[in-house]
Amino acid sequence: MENIREFHVQHRKCRRIILFPMPLEGHINPMIQLANILYSKGFSITIIHTQFNAPNPSKCPHFTFHAIPDGLLEDDASTADGVIRFSNLISKRVEPFRDCLAKLLLDAMDQEPVACLITDAAWHFTHAVAEGFKIPTIAMRTTSICSFLAFASFPLLRERGYFPIQGALSSLCLRIPD
């Protein structure tokens, strides 16, 4: 029975899915887990990643990995301010990502067509790039339910006038609005 299932999976491998996780463990691991599930359903998997905190390809030999330069200078990589480091990382990835995606699509003309791009939601530029190549895009959020609820609350906060914050932020807020 397992051989029959394996036979069908092998013959369904005619579509490639490209994944692009943020270079953080809490983003890479869920993306790799999703990639394993998709692979088990017959998709070929390509993972685009930055050089910074790159996944280990030997742990997933059935995937294809493509590194793009992260554009971080040594000063950026060693800075204690993670926000600045990742702002720089995101802002410098558009062109390398576009170039890598173009190369993968060119290579795919002789292999499996690309079904879609699954990208970390933090890579805000990927949808526009993929749209330029007419590739469907799925944004994956790897955050907790608390983060999801915070983002989901923005429309209500805006509707009630709590957001954007009006006036000075120098006073202490002692009560959270209902």
- Is the pLDDT at 130 greater than 60? The verdict is yes
Q: Which residue has the higher pLDDT, 14 or 68?
A: 68
Share of the chain above pLDDT 70, in %: 73
Domain total of the chain? 1
Q: Would 105 be classed as within a structural domain?
A: yes
For the domain that residue 87 is a member of, what is the CATH number? 3.40.50.2000
- Is the pLDDT at 13 greater than 60? The verdict is no
Q: Would 93 be classed as within a structural domain?
A: yes
Who contacts 43 (Cβ-Cβ below 8 Å, separation ≥6)?
A: 12, 13, 15, 16, 17, 115
Q: How many Cα atoms occupy the beta-carbon half-sphere of 66 within 13 Å?
A: 19
User: Mean pLDDT, to the nearest integer, of 140-148?
Assistant: 85
Q: Would 176 be classed as within a structural domain?
A: no
Q: Would 112 be classed as within a structural domain?
A: yes
Q: Would 163 be classed as within a structural domain?
A: no
Q: What is the pLDDT of residue 129?
A: 94
Q: What is the pLDDT of residue 4?
A: 45
What pLDDT, in 10s, does the model give residues 35-52? 999 999 999 999 999 887
Q: Would 170 be classed as within a structural domain?
A: no
In degrees to the nearest 10, what's the CA dihedral of 118, 122, 123, 125? 110
Domain residues for 112?
Answer: 2-155
| pTM score, whole prediction | 0.72
User: Mean pLDDT, to the nearest integer, of 152-176?
Assistant: 75
Q: Would 168 be classed as within a structural domain?
A: no
Pull the structure tokens for residue 10.
Answer: 């092998």
Identify the residue whose tokens are 């995606």: 101
CB 29 within 8 A of CB 120: no
Q: Would 173 be classed as within a structural domain?
A: no
Average per-residue pLDDT in the chain? 81
